[in-house]
Amino acid sequence: MTTERRPIPVMIPMLGEEEAQAAADAVRSGWVAQGPRVAEFERRFAAAVGAEHGVAVSSCTTALHLALVLLEVGPGDEVIVPSLSFIATANAVRYVGATPVFADVDLATGNVTVKTVDAVRTSRTRAVIAVHQGGVPFDVVALRGAAASWGVALVEDAACAAGSTAYGAPVGSGAAIAAWSFHPRKLITTGEGGMVTVDGANEAVRLRRLREHGMNVSAADRHASAKPILEAYLETGYNYRMTDIQAAVGLVQLDRLAGIIAQRRALAGRYQEMLSDLDGAIPVRDPAYGEANYQSFWVLLTPEFGASRDEVLAELAAQGVSARRGIMAAHLEPAYEDVAPPSLPVTERLTRESLILPLHHALTEGDQEHIVGVLRKLAGR
């Protein structure tokens, strides 16, 4: 008699009793909206990624939006973005009325480079949003230096990159402005939620105002004051706040981050070793200048592999493995069919020929052997 194998999901958030208790404590405290736990989460997260200030928001998408508002990017401006990214990266540009311009990426890292950005840069370029794709850091020294020489703002989309490093420092350290995600697919989660990190105190003050309807004093500050405070609304803002319930979960998750990264890097290393002799299957690896947190573990299938990416996905699904297609290309989606992109051969190859394998805390060595075994059976067809 054969035993049916349990399904292997592509991702499982690491949540436990500690997070449940923290959320319950927040509910019992009577302060469930943005309050003291949010402030503590902001301080601790900023410290963890090497930034001076953290401003918690409702998602990484709203973080990117606020970053562009802070930079006063608007109609008539161009913002260079990778097409190879979740569509929110490009959407944030449209939120401020600017024009997204798609840049190609490096085949090994999936990230934009100085060369690919410079190839599409024009006199209208006001900013670049560079993504640390799947937790693989882009070359921060090269791109920050180039952006400064061009007089162009650099926004780092670090949605997937909490705990990744570049040149020996955390991703986020030295970034003028970075946006982060706490979606359940990320290493640490608050359900939904995001963060903007900046090094300037004035920028942090304005971001806090923008996330709360443009109000000059927060609800927490009004509550803490012994005297009545009459707030003023200094500019058009947004309702992009994080709740204390989410922040309570985030604080517990932050304590887990180092262990999560260590485990994911060990699992990624094992995948890399197991796939090292498989012709036509090229796994993602650390770049020479940094270490990935492996938020996503992707494999590029070359023609030598013998089976198409979609055939591999179908067979993995039939064998109980929930893999995913490679990172999407925004310029191929209907929402951007009105944008005439430059030639993006690497982007289109990666989105067409790569797949994302399961990687999470519950993944066992037996699971990895099963997954790679399916790939080996398909190889060479």
To the nearest whole number, what is the mean pLDDT of the chain? 95
Instruction: Please check the confidence at residue 3 and state whether its pLDDT lies above 60.
Output: no
pLDDT of residue 1: 39
Instruction: Please check the confidence at residue 74 and state whether its pLDDT lies above 50.
Output: yes
**How confident is the model over 328-350, as a mean pLDDT?**
94
- Lowest-confidence region among 16-25, 116-125, 335-344: 335-344
Spatial distance between the Cα atoms of 41 and 53, rounded to a whole number of angstroms: 11
pLDDT of residue 342: 83
Q: Are 281 and 308 in contact (CB under 8 A)?
A: no
Residues labelled as active-site residues: 186
| Nearest Cα residue to 111 out of 231, 243, 284 | 284
The string of pLDDT tens digits covering residues 163-196 is 999 999 999 999 999 999 999 999 999 999 999 9
pLDDT of residue 274: 97
Instruction: Please check the confidence at residue 217 and state whether its pLDDT lies above 90.
Output: no
pLDDT of residue 128: 98
The string of pLDDT tens digits covering residues 75-104 is 999 999 999 999 999 999 999 999 999 999
**How confident is the model over 145-155, as a mean pLDDT?**
98
Instruction: Please check the confidence at residue 235 and state whether its pLDDT lies above 80.
Output: yes
- Tell me phi and psi for residue 175, to 5 degrees: -80, 130
The string of pLDDT tens digits covering residues 237-253 is 999 999 999 999 999 99
In terms of Cβ atoms closer than 10 Å to its own Cβ (0-12, 13-18, 19+), residue 86 is buried
pLDDT of residue 2: 46
Rg (Cα) of the chain, in Å, rounded?
21
294: phi > 0 → left, psi -120 to 50 → alpha, else beta; which? left
State pTM to two decimals.
0.95
